[in-house]
Structure 1
Amino acid sequence: MNAELKRVHSPDIYNLKSYHPECSDSFCFLLQAMIGPAGEDGEESFDIEICTPKWIESHLEINDVLIGVHYLIVREYSYQKIIHSIEKFLLGCSGASWGEVAKKVSKLGFWEFEAHKDVGP
């Protein structure tokens, strides 16, 4: 079984395809990637923070530490590059069950069922 990107959504941005950040090299927003089994119905949400190095730098104090789990770091906003990067990552996410596949995908984004103990092997 393989993973497939079905669609993307952001609660912060109305239209991701035509979005232009106020500051092209310093921004951060939540992207919800709806991913499910390839060629089958169904999808689950994986939350990814899309941000730039400049945004990270501007939000770090001298002694701060940032753990970059579920971040996709880009130099500038490009809808096509973000989608391509997610799809490329998903090529390495396969397994015998959806639970197994979703655990691999959850390295990219926070899986909506990640806290559930009874998912997959």
Structure 2
Amino acid sequence: MKAILKSIDMNGLVGFDDFQPEDEKDFGVWLTVQVGPDDQDGGHLFQIFICTPNWLKKECLSLGAVWGRHMLIVCEYDRGLIVKSISKYIESCTGDDFWGGAQKISRIGAWEFEDYQP
């Protein structure tokens, strides 16, 4: 089973295609990505925090420490690079079924079913 990136959402008033940070080299933003099997409609939601080293440095200086789980760190805002990086990782996460691939994807994105126990 192959998983693919189906959509990216910013959970706000601005869509991902229209988003532009004030400073391309200093920003941090949460994205929700929908990932699903390549042969089916729909999918599961994963959240990924996209930020720059400058943003991390400011937060670290302000707070003293910053957790790094479910983050993609980019040098500057480049929508194409962000999509390509997320898609490439997702497409490498194969499994016997979608559940197996989703477990691997949850290493880079907070999965809506993370820690779910039936």
TM-score (norm. length: structure 1) = 0.89
Moved over 6 A (4+): none
Q: Work out the number of aligned pairs and report it.
A: 118
Aligned residue type for 1:58? K
Give SS of 1:61's match.
helix
Please list every run of 5 or more consecutive structure 1 residues that lacks an aligned counterpart in the other structure.
none
Give SS of 2:18's match.
coil
The answer (yes or no) to whether the contact 1:12–1:29 under 8 Å persists in 2 is: no
Deviation at 1:8, TM superposition (A): 0.5
Mapping of residues 1-121 of structure 1, within 5 Å:
1-12=1-12, 14-61=14-61, 64-118=64-118
| Deviation string, structure 1 residues 46-102 (Cα, Å, up to 9, x no partner) | 000010100000001388333311001111111111110011101220001211111
Q: Cα RMSD (Å) of the superposition?
A: 1.7
State the distance in 2 between where 1:17 and 1:42 align: 20
Aligned residue type for 2:99? G
Identity of matched residues, %: 34
Change in Cα spacing, 1:37 to 1:81, as seen in structure 2 (3 Å) is: same
Change in Cα spacing, 1:23 to 1:62, as seen in structure 2 (3 Å) is: closer
TM-score (norm. length: structure 2) = 0.91
